[in-house]
């Protein structure tokens, strides 16, 4: 199979196209959530916490030009930001799921006879033949 034909089959699969749409919408949704966090929630949280900013926290290891600076405050700030963004996404998806109509479940088909019932029927038929 040629490379171009193989790539075309791969790219035209339904799940690949769905994933591409999901990535594009996810990127746009990420901007909305980031704006919500940065422009709406963080100012309110900043007021409650006294505008605490961890980004200045760092630990210097070594001396001179070869010294390493561990900016653990930036890491802490990013973790806090991530938790806030994740919580916002959770709340939005939860709200969207409530707004979406529930899918009706297909009615269950009645189960056939069990193995024991079939074996009992076979036994009874063999008994009647004798």
Res 71 pLDDT > 80: yes
pTM here is 0.48
Report CA Rg, the chain.
Answer: 30
Long-range contacts of 59-66 (CB under 8 A, 24+ apart): none
Average pLDDT, stretch 81-93?
80
Task: Write down the pLDDT at residue 39.
Answer: 82
Burial of 80 per CB tally in 10 Å (0-12, 13-18, 19+): middle
Q: Which residue has the tokens 């653990």?
A: 72
Res 110 pLDDT > 80: no
End-to-end alpha carbon distance in the chain: 63
Mean predicted lDDT score pLDDT of the chain? 80
Res 62 pLDDT > 70: yes
Distance CA(113)–CA(116), nearest Å, equals 8
Predicted confidence (pLDDT) per residue in 116-129, tens digit: 888 898 888 888 88
Give the C-alpha distances (Å, rounded to integers) separating 100 from 30, 45, 93, 117, 126: 21, 31, 10, 43, 56
Res 14 pLDDT > 70: no
Mean pLDDT lowest among 21-25, 52-56, 64-68, 76-80: 52-56
- Count how many Cα atoms sit within 13 Å of the Cα of residue 100 in the half-sphere of its side chain: 9
């Amino acid at each position: 199979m040629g490379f171009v034909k193989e790539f075309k089959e791969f790219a035209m699969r339904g799940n690949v196209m769905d994933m591409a749409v999901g990535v594009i919408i996810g990127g746009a949704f990420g901007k909305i959530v980031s704006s919500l966090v940065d422009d709406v929630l963080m100012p309110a949280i900043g007021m409650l916490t006294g505008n605490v900013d961890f980004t200045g926290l760092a630990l210097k290891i070594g001396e001179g030009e070869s010294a390493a600076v561990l900016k653990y405050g930036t890491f802490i700030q990013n973790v806090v930001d991530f938790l806030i963004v994740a919580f916002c996404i959770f709340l939005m998806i939860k709200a969207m799921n409530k707004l979406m109509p529930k899918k009706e479940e297909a009615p269950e088909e009645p189960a056939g006879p069990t193995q024991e019932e079939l074996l009992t029927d076979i036994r009874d038929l063999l008994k009647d033949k004798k």
